[in-house]
Chain A
Amino acid sequence: MAAVLSDEVKQALQDIYYNVRTGRGKEAFALLEKASAAGDGDASCILARCLCGHQYVWGWHGFPEDDERATKLLHKSVEQGSALGVLVALRSGELTPSVQKKMPFESLQQAFEQVEALAKEGDAFCQYIVGNSYFWWDFLRIQNKGKDSFPSQAEFKAYLKGEISKCEDWFWKAFRGGIYFAANNLNQYYTKGDEDIIAPQPEKAEGLFKMGAEMGYPLHQYFYAQELEEAENFAEAARWYKESAEAGNGGGWYKVGTIYFDGKGVEQDEAYAVSCFEKELARDSEHIGSNNLLGKAYFYGRGVPQDYAKAYQLLTLAHDKGNTNWGVYYLAKCCFKGWGTPQDYGKALQYLNEMDWNHWEKDYMLGVIYARGLGVAEDIPKGVAHLQKAASHTEAKEELLNYKKTLFGKWVRRK
């Protein structure tokens, strides 16, 4: 790595990490690709992180996830002489003996010192990487130390404590400098501590996401909104969800929609909720929650004119893509009644079998299907047993009147 980061890398860090609201993530990605191809090891390293998913980069830049390519890029960055690449490869378990052999540093310590120097100069990303080296115990490899390097376990633990606790300061610096990921690690550091070496200090974690939210990090706005929602401060939660959504954070519009759909702590506005779900789907047409709730809105005609076909389409998509049984009740009812889809008792039965919660209509539908033998072999006793579970409801009562018990206790159809 050069003693300083290249302008391309600096610009990319700005757009990819420090200020995601610029909406120039993809341009930054292209810039990194170009720099990497030109031999910039730091660019290869950042690019590799961009390909590793939302745990390494803000998830809504729309970058592809490609572990294989990321691994290759990390190896390349090490070969290209990026100290950042060495530390990141070490952190990700990609600094295998053969890769390490190719790095142009005498030792890991040398690479670390180079990154540390940049961190000290104020680069937030380097501060974060240095913090990570302490937080995740990479300093042991960097300094080539282990428990055998110390005369006693107590001294080893004292050493660990001293080193690990260095992460706190670096993470704070990185966080203030624009790396919201640093606060995620700080949160973990404070709430969970580290084995029996660092004691948890949960009080210090309080307000971390609020701070991040106020600093404008969309993901922290989302997390902070979640905290507010858990505290049942729904109006404020909706405000922060909306902030994060407007910055492009996924799930934000969906969450705003859920609050307004049920009028939780705000004046119920189903039409607005529907518009929020639609915005979420415009961003990601396969968003499971939004498909489900918009499907429910169309099913009941809440906030939109009732449209069973639309409801069925949305709920099916969520069910199939999301592998979730959230909407199976509605899907079963649509198939059972022939609402928005051709009537199909076999499909209705499939959906009903996926329902793992009790609902009288589930028993009613199962009762009718079995007792009348719709799409399955007729089984009046089984059908009646289901109908009796729902017998406090008019429809089930009505259906039950079609059957009677013979003198020998057998259920038969009433003629």
Chain B
Amino acid sequence: MKEKKGGFLRWPWNVAVYIALLAVFRLFAVPIILILMAVQRKNNPHGVEEGYCLSRTRRRFSWVLWGLLWLAAAAGLFYVFYIGFQQDRTYWESSDYVTLAVSGGGGALFLLLGAYMGYAGARDTFFPEKSALAASIRSQLPYPEEAPPVGELFAMVDRDLKANGRWFDEMGIGREWVLGEQANRIDRIRGVFVVDETRTRRSGGRTITSRVLQLVLVDDRWQKHITDFKKPQELRAAADCLALRVPDARRGTNSQWSAFWSMDESEREAFERDFRQKQSRRASEAAQREILSEGPQDMILKRRNGEVTSRVTASLVEEVLKRCLSGEESGFELTPTRPVEGGGRTFRSLDCLIRAEEEEKILLLLELAPSEGENLALALTTDARGAEKVLRGWLRREVPDLTGWDLRRVYSAPQAARPQAQRKSQARLSLVYASGAAENHTTFTEEDVQMAAAGLVDGTYQLVDLTHASGYLWIRVTAGDKMDARCTVEATKPEGEELGFYMAKMPPKEAAAWLTGYPRGEFLPGGRDWKRVKKPS
């Protein structure tokens, strides 16, 4: 039976299908089963749909199969033992006695192993209330003997993992519970130990090495729970996660856990005392922070005078509302820091306006989160009592009963653009007198330019330098000297993207005409008498 949602097979159909496939396709069923298992894992990670805990206990079904396998092996060995035992041992060699002993001993061992695995597997799979996982959850409760039925126990852990769980290999860590091979309450954890060891053993003349990756958790009742990991990085991440959850727990690696676990009673007591002290210090610091902030500050009250606060209480809102009703204020706005959802809509703020035309009447505007550039709001005109009721609920992030509210379009004033800095004129008139004295002007008139031009002719100035307000049109006239009475005129001319620099020699009167005509755009350099230069002198 295949579920529509997610596409995975529920227990016990998954097992039934695997067995059926094996029966039909024998060995060839293995890749199909592996694919099916991968799909199962993808669509129902960690058994979320059936419950993490139940899924974990049912996985012990594989122990039943292993148990059966061991029992079958035990039966075979016992058969060998029985045959050997029935034989005449007169001519037996020592190897025959060894065979008899091994088959008898091995058979007994396999029988015990098979029986245990079969029993444990069947117990966990078919009787979850008796499972090791359920026992471990019970052992974490304050009064294990008063533990609720297994369904509730598992639901408790599942809820936490579903809401807050993070998974590291097969270990799930929630806010309150850790689900590994067994379950641990996080606040009971006192030791988190990472075992990452390479173990070596010799068998049949061969050296076999294996890497052991385990997370050992020790709780305040000094019980240890060990969970195996496949990937070392997942093991470390799980340990880091638990270290964040229980920062005061002892951390360690490899064999350190056994030293911690085997502490004597007085050492355990001392550790526990120290742990609790650190824990209470943290709690008091957190409480201190809570006192400082005096609440979550998740609502913003904005008054019409621009005053804002996030320290919003029901009494403050009531007071502001009263001020509004008495005419001292005209309204206010209550904006939650996260939109409030209700009735299939998302609301971003509640405006409270006093209707000037109707005494004692209050207009409430419940603004919806903008969609497609449209601002909509639900409006209700009510009296003080009605408004108070809505406001009190809104403070608790509750959407009021929307019966009687009308949908309206809200127009918000466009935001004023930031004033741009006025571009400063780059006009500049520099005058150098015949004496060498100089002056610069950034504000001047055309009359000043004309006077400067006249000054060049009558010898008052030896240099006039003029930059047009646009900043790139520039002209400079330098008076002649005893050797050459002609003036030197330098000027720019826009040439596409670039600015060309030109120079010419001319009599003072002509230079003066250029000085006055150039800013008006009457003349542009570049004619026959002009020489293009790279840059001004």
Check if A93 sits within 8 Å of B436, measured CB to CB. no
Given known pairs A301-B293, A306-B293, A404-B234, the reply for A144 and B435 (CB within 8 Å) is yes
Per-position contact with B for A336-366: 1 when CB-CB < 8 Å, else 0?
A: 0011111100000000000000000000000
Interface status of B45 (Cβ within 8 A of chain A) = yes
User: In A355-402, which residues have CB < 8 Å from any B CB?
Assistant: 394, 397-398, 401-402
Enumerate chain A residues within 8 angstroms of B433, measured Cβ to Cβ. 141, 144, 146
User: In B345-359, which residues have CB < 8 Å from any A CB?
Assistant: 348
Measured CA separation A342–B310 after assembly (Å): 11
Check if B293 sits within 8 Å of A310, measured CB to CB. no
Interface status of B336 (Cβ within 8 A of chain A) = yes
- A93, A95, A309 — which one has the most chain B CB atoms within 10 A of its CB? A309
Interface status of A140 (Cβ within 8 A of chain B) = yes
Per-position contact with A for B493-526: 1 when CB-CB < 8 Å, else 0?
A: 0000000000000000000000000000000000
Check if A415 sits within 8 Å of B45, measured CB to CB. yes
Given known pairs A145-B436, A149-B436, the reply for A96 and B297 (CB within 8 Å) is no
Check if A397 sits within 8 Å of B451, measured CB to CB. no
Enumerate chain B residues within 8 angstroms of A305, measured Cβ to Cβ. 294, 311
Measured CA separation A16–B526 after assembly (Å): 55
Interface status of A94 (Cβ within 8 A of chain B) = yes
The distance from the CB of A310 to the nearest CB of chain B, in whole angstroms, is 6
Enumerate chain B residues within 8 angstroms of A94, measured Cβ to Cβ. 441, 443
Check if B308 sits within 8 Å of A313, measured CB to CB. yes
Check if B437 sits within 8 Å of A144, measured CB to CB. yes
Check if A339 sits within 8 Å of B435, measured CB to CB. no
Interface status of A98 (Cβ within 8 A of chain B) = yes
Given known pairs A96-B444, A313-B308, A401-B241, the reply for A342 and B339 (CB within 8 Å) is yes
Enumerate chain A residues within 8 angstroms of B438, measured Cβ to Cβ. 140, 146
The distance from the CB of B42 to the nearest CB of chain A, in whole angstroms, is 9
Measured CA separation A305–B302 after assembly (Å): 17
User: In A121-173, which residues have CB < 8 Å from any B CB?
Assistant: 140-141, 144-149
Check if B451 sits within 8 Å of A148, measured CB to CB. no
Interface status of B320 (Cβ within 8 A of chain A) = no
Enumerate chain A residues within 8 angstroms of B431, measured Cβ to Cβ. 97
User: In B421-471, which residues have CB < 8 Å from any A CB?
Assistant: 429, 431-445, 447-448, 451-452, 455, 462
Given known pairs A144-B437, A340-B337, A341-B300, the reply for A97 and B237 (CB within 8 Å) is no
Check if B451 sits within 8 Å of A394, measured CB to CB. no
The distance from the CB of B368 to the nearest CB of chain A, in whole angstroms, is 14
Enumerate chain A residues within 8 angstroms of B443, measured Cβ to Cβ. 71, 93-94, 96
Interface status of A307 (Cβ within 8 A of chain B) = yes
Identify the closest chain A residue to B440 (Cβ): A93
Interface status of B277 (Cβ within 8 A of chain A) = no
The distance from the CB of A102 to the nearest CB of chain B, in whole angstroms, is 10
The distance from the CB of A327 to the nearest CB of chain B, in whole angstroms, is 16
Interface status of A405 (Cβ within 8 A of chain B) = yes
Measured CA separation A310–B301 after assembly (Å): 10
Interface status of B338 (Cβ within 8 A of chain A) = yes
Check if B310 sits within 8 Å of A308, measured CB to CB. yes
Check if B337 sits within 8 Å of A397, measured CB to CB. no
Interface status of B261 (Cβ within 8 A of chain A) = no
Enumerate chain A residues within 8 angstroms of B439, measured Cβ to Cβ. 90, 93, 95, 141
Name the one of A309, A343, A404 contacting B310, with C-beta atoms under 8 angstroms: A309
Identify the closest chain A residue to B461 (Cβ): A97
Measured CA separation A154–B300 after assembly (Å): 74
The distance from the CB of A41 to the nearest CB of chain B, in whole angstroms, is 19
Per-position contact with B for A14-39: 1 when CB-CB < 8 Å, else 0?
A: 00000000000000000000000000
The count of chain B contact residues (Cβ–Cβ below 8 Å) is 51
Check if A309 sits within 8 Å of B167, measured CB to CB. no
Measured CA separation A306–B348 after assembly (Å): 23
Interface status of B397 (Cβ within 8 A of chain A) = no
The distance from the CB of A67 to the nearest CB of chain B, in whole angstroms, is 8
Measured CA separation A90–B300 after assembly (Å): 57
Interface status of B309 (Cβ within 8 A of chain A) = yes
Given known pairs A144-B435, A394-B244, the reply for A339 and B337 (CB within 8 Å) is yes
Interface status of A414 (Cβ within 8 A of chain B) = yes
Per-position contact with B for A239-259: 1 when CB-CB < 8 Å, else 0?
A: 000000000000000000000
Enumerate chain A residues within 8 angstroms of B398, measured Cβ to Cβ. none
Measured CA separation A93–B444 after assembly (Å): 9
Measured CA separation A71–B45 after assembly (Å): 80
Interface status of B335 (Cβ within 8 A of chain A) = yes
The distance from the CB of A311 to the nearest CB of chain B, in whole angstroms, is 9
The count of chain A contact residues (Cβ–Cβ below 8 Å) is 43
Identify the closest chain A residue to B245 (Cβ): A398
Check if A340 sits within 8 Å of B297, measured CB to CB. yes
Enumerate chain B residues within 8 angstroms of A120, measured Cβ to Cβ. none
Identify the closest chain B residue to A97 (Cβ): B451
Interface status of B166 (Cβ within 8 A of chain A) = yes
Check if A402 sits within 8 Å of B166, measured CB to CB. yes
Enumerate chain B residues within 8 angstroms of A93, measured Cβ to Cβ. 439-443
Given known pairs A97-B452, A339-B337, A414-B166, the reply for A307 and B445 (CB within 8 Å) is no
Enumerate chain B residues within 8 angstroms of A98, measured Cβ to Cβ. 444-445, 447-448, 451
Measured CA separation A343–B310 after assembly (Å): 13
Interface status of A204 (Cβ within 8 A of chain B) = no
Identify the closest chain B residue to A398 (Cβ): B244
Check if A342 sits within 8 Å of B338, measured CB to CB. yes
Identify the closest chain B residue to A394 (Cβ): B244
Enumerate chain B residues within 8 angstroms of A309, measured Cβ to Cβ. 297, 300-302, 308-311
Per-position contact with A for B336-379: 1 when CB-CB < 8 Å, else 0?
A: 11110000000010000000000000000000000000000000
Enumerate chain B residues within 8 angstroms of A96, measured Cβ to Cβ. 429, 441, 443-445, 448, 451
Enumerate chain B residues within 8 angstroms of A312, measured Cβ to Cβ. 308
Interface status of A101 (Cβ within 8 A of chain B) = yes
Check if A310 sits within 8 Å of B310, measured CB to CB. yes
Measured CA separation A379–B233 after assembly (Å): 22
The distance from the CB of A392 to the nearest CB of chain B, in whole angstroms, is 12
The distance from the CB of B169 to the nearest CB of chain A, in whole angstroms, is 10
User: In B292-316, which residues have CB < 8 Å from any A CB?
Assistant: 292-294, 297-298, 300-302, 308-311
Interface status of B406 (Cβ within 8 A of chain A) = no
Enumerate chain A residues within 8 angstroms of B429, measured Cβ to Cβ. 96
Measured CA separation A397–B339 after assembly (Å): 29
Measured CA separation A402–B297 after assembly (Å): 28
Identify the closest chain B residue to A148 (Cβ): B436
Measured CA separation A147–B438 after assembly (Å): 11
Measured CA separation A340–B298 after assembly (Å): 7
Enumerate chain B residues within 8 angstroms of A415, measured Cβ to Cβ. 45, 167
Enumerate chain A residues within 8 angstroms of B462, measured Cβ to Cβ. 148
- A97, A301, A312, A339 — which one has the most chain B CB atoms within 10 A of its CB? A97
Interface status of B274 (Cβ within 8 A of chain A) = no
Given known pairs A309-B301, A339-B337, A402-B166, the reply for A97 and B448 (CB within 8 Å) is yes
The distance from the CB of B341 to the nearest CB of chain A, in whole angstroms, is 14
Identify the closest chain B residue to A147 (Cβ): B436
- B233, B310, B418, B444 — which one has the most chain A CB atoms within 10 A of its CB? B310
The distance from the CB of B367 to the nearest CB of chain A, in whole angstroms, is 11
Chain A positions within 8 Å of B, measured between CB atoms, are 71, 90, 93-99, 101, 140-141, 144-149, 301, 305-310, 312-313, 320, 338-343, 394, 397-398, 401-402, 404-405, 414-415
In the A-B complex, the 4 residue pairs with the closest CB atoms: A146-B436, A338-B337, A97-B451, A309-B310
CB pairs A–B below 8 angstroms (14 shown): A93-B440, A96-B429, A96-B441, A98-B444, A140-B438, A141-B433, A148-B436, A148-B462, A149-B436, A306-B292, A310-B309, A338-B298, A401-B237, A404-B234
Chain B positions within 8 Å of A, measured between CB atoms, are 45, 166-168, 233-234, 237, 240-241, 244, 292-294, 297-298, 300-302, 308-311, 335-339, 348, 418, 429, 431-445, 447-448, 451-452, 455, 462
* Sample of 17 more A-B contacts, CB < 8 Å, known A338-B338, A339-B337: A93-B443, A94-B441, A94-B443, A96-B443, A96-B448, A97-B451, A97-B452, A98-B447, A140-B436, A306-B293, A308-B297, A310-B309, A340-B310, A341-B337, A343-B338, A404-B233, A414-B167
